[in-house]
Amino acid sequence: MKFFVDTADVKDIRELNDAGLLDGVTTNPSLIMKAGRDIMDVTKEICSIVEGPVSAEVTAVEYSGMMREAEVLSKIADNICIKVPLTLDGLKACKALTSDGRMVNVTLCFSANQALLAAKAGATFISPFIGRLDDMGIDGMELIGEIRTIYDNYDFGTEILAASIRTVNHVKQAAMIGADVATVPPATLKALVKHPLTDKGLEAFLADWAKTGQKIG
């Protein structure tokens, strides 16, 4: 499974990338607002840190506006992935952009039928929102499984990018079902490494090592 981090915070992105954990980054208008920086400046900096896809989202809701904004965003860097909403205009833009050789992340997916249409439109990534479905009392992981089955049935190349991940269990479950990518908030991604037995074992090793009085190097 690939790991993307869902943030526009350059400090977190740099830390996780330096640790060798990042395959890409996803941003959206809300995350740009939280970062408090100009979208062009912060996105350009993110693209210079991470080699993989960096999703930058259009804000227009009609096809012509999406294409106009996509043209501007695409010029930021070669690893920009244009993010469009799962609407008819968004799918039309997706088809046009991917036909032109650009990466496209179709976002705000909440059903298998929507994911099927995105794949038909040539999406590079489809972003089903797990957490938001869970909030409604619907098992978001069932959607991941449904999309996986449909994509495998027809050998679609669109990658399933599990989004709106809230917990470390979401990550594990998405990986077991077969999501290609998980985009995860920085805190959740860092939490994946944590386990109390790891901490306890390390503490015991260090205590025993101190008793030997030895040093390495």
Task: Report the alpha-carbon distance of residue 86 to residue 135 in Å, rounded.
Answer: 20
- What pLDDT tens digit does each residue of the chain (217 aa) get? 999 999 999 999 999 999 999 999 999 999 999 999 999 999 999 999 999 999 999 999 999 999 999 999 999 999 999 999 999 999 999 999 999 999 999 999 999 999 999 999 999 999 999 999 999 999 999 999 999 999 999 999 999 999 999 999 999 999 999 999 999 999 999 999 999 999 999 999 999 999 999 999 8
User: 89-100: per-residue pLDDT in tens?
Assistant: 999 999 999 999
What confidence score (pLDDT) does residue 31 get?
A: 95
Query: Where does the chain show beta strands of DSSP type E?
Result: 2-6, 24-26, 54-57, 80-85, 103-109, 125-128, 159-162, 181-184
The pLDDT score that the predictor gives to residue 60 is: 98
Residue 156: what residue type? Answer: F
For 134-180, write each residue's pLDDT tens digit: 999 999 999 999 999 999 999 999 999 999 999 999 999 999 999 99
Q: Rounded to whole angstroms, how far apart are CA atoms 91 and 1?
A: 26
Q: Look at residue 209 in the predicted model and tell me its pLDDT.
A: 96
CATH number for 2-212 (one of 3.20.20.70, 3.90.1150.10, 3.30.450.20, 2.40.128.110): it is 3.20.20.70
DSSP structural state of residue 158: P
- Please report the pLDDT score of residue 159 as a whole number: 98
Each domain of the chain, given as residue ranges in start order, spans 2-212
Q: Of the residues 83, 95, 194, 215, which is catalytic?
A: 83
pLDDT of residue 44: 97
pTM of the model: 0.95
Per the annotation, the verdict on 194 as an active-site residue is no
Dihedral sign from CA coordinates of 76, 185, 105, 178:
positive
